[in-house]
Amino acid sequence: MERIPKSGEFYRHFKNKLYQIVTVAEHSESREKLVIYQALYGDYKTYARPLEMFTSEVDHVKYPDVKQKYRFEKVEPGEISEIYQPKVEVPTQQPETTQILPEAEMLSGGQSTEELPEPGLLEFLDTDDWDMKYNILVSLRDKMTDKLVDDFAVALDIVIPEGPLDKRYEELKNCLRTRQKFESQRLR
């Protein structure tokens, strides 16, 4: 049974990076199936990989310490926060105490090398309900940064001009309110 990814699904690479499936495409010349997927970290780059390679098993000779069976394994939306913020006990010099570090910091020797996405943004991307999207945006008001405004704007396929953060946030909210009003009433 072949594991064919579907648009919108989340997959974890064996190196513990999270991706979302855009689509499975067909190469116009060779007819080879390609998985198109987007990173949910860093610059959110989009990649294409042959389906056969995407669904293949990890080379355990080359990567003997990897526990994951497949190169990419499907992750349910509820498990996303566990991937980005798992709690792993790491003993310190004193055996009676332990220090809890996110796994990303453990893998990089205690220093996170890549900025992890705001979990609320992932929740925003995962829902199709405009009221829910608006509520998520409002709930993140105190955590809002220029980068987060830009991330939400990209998710909505809009541009919020540079300026004071409060003004940019209000413009983002207004755009979302407009979508909420008109997109939910659209004939489908």
Contacts of 185 (CB under 8 A, 6+ apart): none
Q: List the domain range (segments joined by +) for residue 171.
A: 119-183
Q: What is the pLDDT of residues 69-94, one digit of tens each?
A: 999 999 887 776 665 554 444 445 54
Mark whether 108 and 152 lie in a shared domain. Answer: no
- Together in a domain, 70 and 1: yes
Please state the domain count of the chain: 2
Angle between the N-to-C axes of helices 146-156 and 165-183, in degrees from 0 to 180, rounded to the nearest 10:
20
Answer whether residue 38 is part of any domain. yes
Is 129 part of any domain?
yes
For residues 47 and 106, state if they share a domain: yes
Instruction: Quickly state the pLDDT bin for 133 (edges 50, 70, 90).
Output: confident
Average pLDDT for 145-165: 87
Cα-Cα end-to-end distance for the chain: 34
